Amino acid sequence: MFTVLASTLALASNLAIGVAQAAPMNLLQAYQAALQNDPTYRGAIYENQAGQEARNMGRSYLLPKLSSYYTTGKNQADITQTGQNILGQPVTNTSHSDYSSVNAAVTLRQPIVNFEALALYNQGVAKTNYSNAQFVGRSQDLMLRLVAAYAEVQYSEDQLTLAAAQRDAYREQMHVNERLFKQGEGTKTDMLETEARANLAEAQVFEAQDNVTVARNTLTGIVGVEVTELAPLNQDFRLLPLQPANFQEWRDIALAKNAEIIALGYAVDIAHEEINRQRAGHAPSLDLVGSFGKQKSTSTNTINQDANVHSIGVELNIPLFSGGYVSAATRQAVANHEKARSDLDVKINQVSVELRKQFSLMQSAGPRIDALVKSADSASLLIVATKQSIKGGVRINLDLLNAEQQLYTSRRDLALARYNYLLAYLRMRSAAGTLNEQDLGNIAGYFVAAQ
């Protein structure tokens, strides 16, 4: 399955890279490339492959075990016999023998009653389930990391555009101040105020350029290809419906589907089976044992004798005393089980807090974005009105500079609010355990390349 998946992802990634070189890379193309190239996700794939073997390893404790051995050797023996002759005198007779010996056997052992083996099997199943839940979480984490990095690039580029626009506006205002000053209608103070703002804006442009570079490098590390141009955020920004609209319903969904909660639930099962495994050290075990052996000249009494031995029977092992190890190991397993349960409770609380946070962000996003849109529109009108007021002598140059700064701040905050809304949409679904590629497709619809 993983071979087919890897081939499919490789093909999709190659197609995505080819398209990305000819046109801006959209979010879905970036996701396909990340599935193939992100090292963290690829590590999760291999980790999950390893986890699948835990079930097979656990089952092996319940299945028959077949073993064999073969020994052969060259032997030399001096055999001394002591007796009496007819006169009653002691007589010693020594003989020397050279012979080859062979001893071979095949043994089959099938557990019949073995509580430790049963616990190990159940533990193996729980470990595989734990691995699967972890992999689901890692898959969702890839979506979150990708969208966060993609949005960070877009936000950094927006910041660069806004900073450059503000710098250009200040420069234009500098020319206006210089012209007015030469005509005797402006002041030196106006020129210095504008020049200071322009120099600060220039520094902000350089900072924004650095931020763009860092953000692109971060995204490149995830998608595995050079990021040159991305599909921009659609200006026709509409909020997605919040369904269900009740937080308690989201929390119930999270308790049932959150990948981290499910994984820690299996961790509790693993710890519980460890208790059973350690307690089995006090229990007897019963095995069915069958063997077939061939022996030749295995001792000085059986030189030149061949023997074929067939046996079948049961073997009962009853532990009596192990120095207190079993009791100590059981107490340790009980303590680890309680810790696992505590870890699960902590994770449930953390998920609930995160879910509440993202749910609140989703609820407040609409009014906040609407307010920032109005703020940006008002700031644009304020600049026009301030310029007219300056001509009428009602306002001064500093008022215009402040109005331009307000426009820059409003547009920056609006862009940030929109990106935060998209991330909150995904993070809430990730906390609830329902995040999937369809949700990613919904977010991808917000990033559309210009036609």
The secondary structure element, H or E, covering residue 112 is: strand 90-113
The class that CATH gives domain 2-62+114-283+324-444 is: mainly alpha
Phi-psi category of residue 323: left, alpha or beta, with phi > 0 → left and psi -120 to 50 → alpha? left
pLDDT (tens digit per residue) in 279-330: 999 999 999 999 999 888 777 677 777 888 899 999 999 999 989 999 999 9
Q: How far apart are CA 442 and CA 426, in angstroms?
A: 10
Reported as a single tens digit per residue, the pLDDT across 205-226 is 999 999 999 999 999 999 999 9
Q: What are phi and psi for residue 256, nearest 5 degrees?
A: -90, -25
pLDDT in tens, 26-44: 999 999 999 999 999 999 9
Per-domain residue ranges of the chain: 2-62+114-283+324-444
DSSP class of residue 240 equals: P
- Better-scored residue on pLDDT, 98 or 146: 146
Q: Which residues pair with 78 in a beta bridge?
A: 96
Average pLDDT, the chain: 87
Tell me if 91 sits within 8 A of 82, measured CB to CB. Answer: yes
Is the full-model pTM beyond 0.75? yes
Backbone angles phi, psi at 264, to 5 degrees: -70, -25
Sequential DSSP letters for 385-427: HHHHHHHTTSS-HHHHHHHHHHHHHHHHHHHHHHHHHHHHHHH
Strands 306-317 and 285-296: antiparallel
Average pLDDT of span 379-391: 83
User: Which range in 137-146, 203-212, 301-310, 362-371 is most confidently predicted, on average pLDDT?
Assistant: 137-146
| pLDDT: which is higher, 341 or 21 | 341
Which of 185-194, 393-402, 424-433 ranks highest by mean pLDDT?
Answer: 424-433
